[in-house]
């Protein structure tokens, strides 16, 4: 065999660090990165995180309560799931409520470029959260996931606004019933 | 000069003639191996070398055959897959009757039968089912894989196994890979030379199509298939979970995609395209596999015998491109300091097991090489204390009063990761040592 061991020894000497004994239990790369992302999160006053299991930081719920725009007064939650390939793969994000939104379908799938085709490992959870916030402020009719809502928004902003309010109050639009997401600020 | 067909072996199986040329290399010192030991003892020791081959598919079949014909006597092979009819054009150790059987088993039996004196032990399972003790028994690991995940797993495992107390713990990893007419061979000496994780950015991510294109304006047959795969499947859930190898599931997707393609006037959705898109199949070419496998086994031979300098220390990466005449380039890849697997390896940290977590965090503030005022700290699968976001801070605050060993269950050898919002670029990793 090659004399690789003597080379390893030399490298070790140069670094002057001795490995500790015992069974190693290494923090996975994905967990490390999420830990870092979380400590840099800027949530502001409209967002909150919830960890069903605090030991599992790869899964959490983000709550957004938009304080302006069409969705003002609503409370929406998104599940965030990172797999062991994070950040080489984007987080999986889903809206837990049925929402009337041109860029979120009735299953909760979100059309946000950085969650799919434009994801890069240099992006972080903050970027995703900012993107979600933006979707609530500026629903985008040109990249629709919910075609009806997009057509609605395109043809009349007022009608779209009315339908959003109806849906948020738990009403129905064209046969689909939505979840009540308005909350009372005083309680 | 020994007769090439000497020893009387017609066809040569088992005859000394089979090893004639190999022996020229093994027994004669040359310009590159002046120092190497060509004694009979050294050759006998080599016979005992154990090699692990991961994957018994396109590359794996070639690798097993090459290693056996290079004189390796004790080979293990792992593959979880069974043989599919579509494998037969290039995975030449398999015949039609073998369809449905385990690849590792059939490949091992075939090579054992053709090359006298070689022992090949098959393992029909996933590499993740074995622990470090299993991998410790080998001297060299050769990978012929089609999965990035599996490469990352074996790479991280071999890097973690390196133990300064035990020089046998360092296992050279030879990784072959092919994609159509292109291929690569690289040699990794875990913790010494750049590892697979250091080179992860060489993999181009699969080009994703915007979800809204799939949902509203498909333009290509692939868009219709992705729509069936991502959107229609989720809405209708025809089966509890998608099994990409189940023809019934693929047929369902194919029919959905065809209907959608018709709706939008798109031609070209076929069953095999559906299978290709869903499973992300890239055509495999037998000659590329043969070239890359040969190069991998050459490296294994060089490492085992010292016959010539192996890839690894200077240049570690050989790329081959066969789609525009034939081109190879061998180059040096640099180790990444911040590699998640082999960079920034955890430093030992002596702690008192009776300390509370709060006491440990306080010690970080005064430790001259840390000076962290708001540290967040985690162990593998365990959030000890996070300063932020507020929800998790509240949930983990009770941990602050618990002791490290009895209260939190930390043991020597556990790694902890420390971050601080004041230093967003830094992550500190430590291995706990009990003082």
Tell me the ipTM for this assembly: 0.79
Q: In a 10 Å sphere around its CB, with 0-12 CB exposed, 13-18 middle and 19+ buried, how is residue B108 labelled?
A: buried
Rounded CA gap, A92 and B273, in Å? 26
Residues facing residue B320 across a β-bridge = B183, B328
Residue B396 confidence (pLDDT) above 70:
yes
Q: Which is catalytic among the residues A47, A57, A111, A169?
A: A111
Rounded CA gap, B291 and A175, in Å? 61
Rounded CA gap, B82 and B102, in Å? 4
Q: What is the pLDDT of residue A185?
A: 57
Q: What is the pLDDT of residue B46?
A: 79
pTM attached to this predicted model: 0.70
Rounded CA gap, B383 and B141, in Å? 35
The lowest-confidence range among A1-10, A138-147, B185-194, B424-433 is: A1-10
Q: What is the pLDDT of residue A23?
A: 54
Per-residue pLDDT tens over the stretch B44-83 = 777 888 999 999 999 999 999 999 999 999 999 999 999 9
At B241, the pLDDT band (50, 70, 90 cuts) reads confident
The mean per-residue pLDDT over the stretch B1-19 comes to: 52
Supply A34's token pair: 């999420």
Residues facing residue B419 across a β-bridge = B376
CATH class as words, domain B211-278 = mainly alpha
Q: What is the pLDDT of residue B276?
A: 87
Among 3.40.1440.10, 3.40.50.720, 3.10.290.20, 1.10.287.3510, name the CATH number for the domain at B347-434: 3.10.290.20
Q: What is the pLDDT of residue A14?
A: 64
Residue B339 confidence (pLDDT) above 90:
no
Three-state secondary structure along chain A? Answer: CCCHHHHHHHHHHHHCCCCCCCCCECCCHHHHHHHHHHHCCCCCCCEEEECCCCCCCCEEEEEECCCCCCCCCECEEEEEECCCCCCCCCCEEEECCCCCECCECCCCEECCHHHCCCCCCCCCHHHHHHHHHHHHHCCCCCCCCCHHHHHHHHHCHHHHHHHHHHHHECCEECCEECCECECCCCC
Supply B406's token pair: 């009895």
Helical residues (DSSP H) of B128-244, grouped into ranges: 132-136, 148-161, 211-216, 221-227, 233-236
Rounded CA gap, B146 and A79, in Å? 31
Question: How remote is the C-alpha of B271 from its chain's centroid?
Answer: 30
Residue B434 confidence (pLDDT) above 70:
yes
C-alpha closest to that of B160 among B346, B338, B419, B335: B346
Rounded CA gap, B314 and A20, in Å? 29
CA atoms lying within 13 Å on the CB side of residue B23: 11
- Which numeric CATH code is attached to B13-202+283-331? 3.40.50.720
Per-residue pLDDT tens over the stretch B294-320 = 999 999 998 988 888 899 888 999 999
The better pLDDT of the pair B175, A20 is held by B175
Residues facing residue B379 across a β-bridge = B382, B416
Question: What residues of chain A lie within 8 A of the CB of B155, using their CB?
Answer: none
> Which regions of chain B carry the CATH code 3.10.290.20?
347-434
Residue B254 confidence (pLDDT) above 50:
yes
The better pLDDT of the pair B273, B38 is held by B273
Judged by CB atoms closer than 8 Å, whether chains meet at A20 and B210 is answered as no
Rounded CA gap, B227 and B235, in Å? 11
- Calculate the alpha carbon distances from A38 to A33, A175, B344, B376 in Å: 9, 40, 21, 10
Per-residue pLDDT tens over the stretch B152-161 = 889 989 998 8
Q: What is the pLDDT of residue B10?
A: 41
Pairing relationship of beta strands A172-173 and A47-50 according to DSSP bridges: unpaired
Give the A:B interface size as CB pairs under 8 Å: 184
Residue B251 confidence (pLDDT) above 70:
yes
C-alpha closest to that of A100 among A66, A62, A48, A139: A139
> Which regions of chain B carry the CATH code 3.40.50.720?
13-202+283-331
Judged by CB atoms closer than 8 Å, whether chains meet at B170 and A19 is answered as no
Question: What residues of chain A lie within 8 A of the CB of B139, using their CB?
Answer: 1
Q: What is the pLDDT of residue B351?
A: 92
Judged by CB atoms closer than 8 Å, whether chains meet at A35 and B165 is answered as no
Residue B237 confidence (pLDDT) above 70:
yes
User: How close B304 comes to chain A (CA, Å)?
Assistant: 5
Judged by CB atoms closer than 8 Å, whether chains meet at A17 and B348 is answered as yes
Q: What is the pLDDT of residue A24?
A: 64
Q: What is the pLDDT of residue B2?
A: 41
Q: What is the pLDDT of residue B29?
A: 79
Rounded CA gap, A122 and B161, in Å? 29
The lowest-confidence range among A126-130, A136-140, B183-187, B417-421 is: B417-421
> Which regions of chain B carry the CATH code 1.10.10.520?
211-278
Other beta carbons within 10 angstroms of residue B375's beta carbon come to 24
Q: What is the pLDDT of residue B367?
A: 80
The lowest-confidence range among A69-73, A143-147, B146-150, B254-258 is: B146-150
Listed by number, the residues of chain B in 220-239 with a beta carbon closer than 8 Å to a beta carbon of chain A are 231, 234-235
What b/e string do you get for B201-225 counting C-beta neighbours within 10 Å, with b at 16 or more? eeeeeeeebbbbbbbbebeebbbbb
Question: What residues of chain B lie within 8 A of the CB of A127, using their CB?
Answer: none
Q: What is the pLDDT of residue B4?
A: 42
User: How close A96 comes to chain B (CA, Å)?
Assistant: 15
Q: What is the pLDDT of residue A13?
A: 64
Residues of chain A with pLDDT under 50: 16-22, 186-187
């Amino acid at each position: 065999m090659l004399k690789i061991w003597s080379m390893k020894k030399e490298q070790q000497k140069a670094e002057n660090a001795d490995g500790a004994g015992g069974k190693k239990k290494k923090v996975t790369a994905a967990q490390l990165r999420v830990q870092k992302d979380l400590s840099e999160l800027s949530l502001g006053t409209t967002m909150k995180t919830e960890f069903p299991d605090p030991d599992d930081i790869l899964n959490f719920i983000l709550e957004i309560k938009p304080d302006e725009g069409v969705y003002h007064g609503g409370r929406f939650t998104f599940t965030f799931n990172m797999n062991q390939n994070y950040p080489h793969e984007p987080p999986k994000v889903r809206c837990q409520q049925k929402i009337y939104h041109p860029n979120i379908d009735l299953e909760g799938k979100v059309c946000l470029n950085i969650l799919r085709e434009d994801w890069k490992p240099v992006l972080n959870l903050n970027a995703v959260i900012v993107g979600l916030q933006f979707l609530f402020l500026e629903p985008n009719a040109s990249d629709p996931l919910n075609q009806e809502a997009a057509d609605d928004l395109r043809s009349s902003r007022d009608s779209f606004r009315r339908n959003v309010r109806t849906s948020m109050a738990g009403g129905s639009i064209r046969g689909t019933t939505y979840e009540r997401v308005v909350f009372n600020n005083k309680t | 000069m020994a007769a090439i067909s000497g020893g009387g072996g017609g066809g040569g199986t088992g005859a000394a003639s089979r090893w004639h040329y190999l022996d020229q290399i093994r027994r004669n010192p040359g310009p590159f191996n002046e120092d190497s030991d060509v004694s009979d003892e050294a050759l006998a020791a080599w016979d005992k070398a154990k090699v692990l081959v991961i994957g018994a598919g396109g590359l794996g079949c070639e690798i097993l055959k090459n290693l056996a014909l290079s004189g390796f006597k004790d080979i293990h092979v792992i593959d979880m897959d069974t043989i599919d009819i579509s494998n037969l054009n290039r995975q030449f150790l398999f015949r039609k009757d073998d369809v449905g059987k385990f690849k590792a088993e059939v490949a091992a039996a075939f090579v054992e039968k053709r090359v006298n004196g070689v022992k090949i032990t098959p393992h029909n399972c996933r590499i993740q089912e074995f622990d470090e003790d299993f991998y410790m028994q080998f001297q060299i690991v050769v990978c012929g894989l089609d999965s990035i995940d599996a490469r990352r797993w074996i790479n991280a495992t071999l890097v973690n196994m390196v133990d300064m107390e035990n020089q046998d713990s360092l296992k050279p990893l030879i990784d072959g890979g092919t994609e159509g007419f292109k291929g690569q061979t690289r040699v990794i000496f875990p913790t010494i030379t750049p590892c697979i994780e250091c080179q992860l950015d060489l993999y181009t991510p699969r080009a994703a199509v915007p979800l809204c294109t799939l949902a509203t304006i498909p333009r290509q047959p692939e868009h219709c298939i992705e729509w069936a795969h991502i959107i229609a499947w989720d809405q209708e859930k025809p089966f509890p979970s998608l099994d990409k190898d189940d023809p019934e599931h693929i047929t369902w997707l194919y029919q959905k995609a065809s209907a959608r393609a018709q709706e939008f006037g798109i031609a070209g959705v076929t069953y095999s395209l559906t299978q290709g898109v869903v499973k992300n199949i890239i055509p495999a070419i037998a000659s590329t596999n043969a070239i890359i496998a040969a190069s991998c086994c050459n490296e294994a031979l060089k490492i085992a015998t010292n016959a010539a300098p192996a890839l690894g220390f200077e240049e570690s990466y050989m790329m081959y491109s066969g789609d525009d005449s034939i081109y190879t380039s061998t180059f040096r890849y640099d180790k990444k300091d911040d590699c998640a697997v082999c960079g920034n390896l955890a430093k030992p940290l002596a702690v008192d097991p009776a300390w509370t977590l709060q006491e440990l965090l306080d010690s970080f503030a005064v430790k001259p090489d840390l000076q962290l005022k708001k540290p967040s700290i985690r162990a593998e699968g365990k959030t000890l204390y996070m300063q932020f976001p507020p929800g998790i801070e509240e949930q983990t605050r009770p941990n602050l009063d618990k002791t490290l060993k009895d209260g939190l269950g930390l043991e020597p050898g556990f790694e902890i990761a420390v971050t601080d919002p004041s230093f967003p670029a830094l992550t500190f990793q430590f291995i706990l040592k009990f003082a």
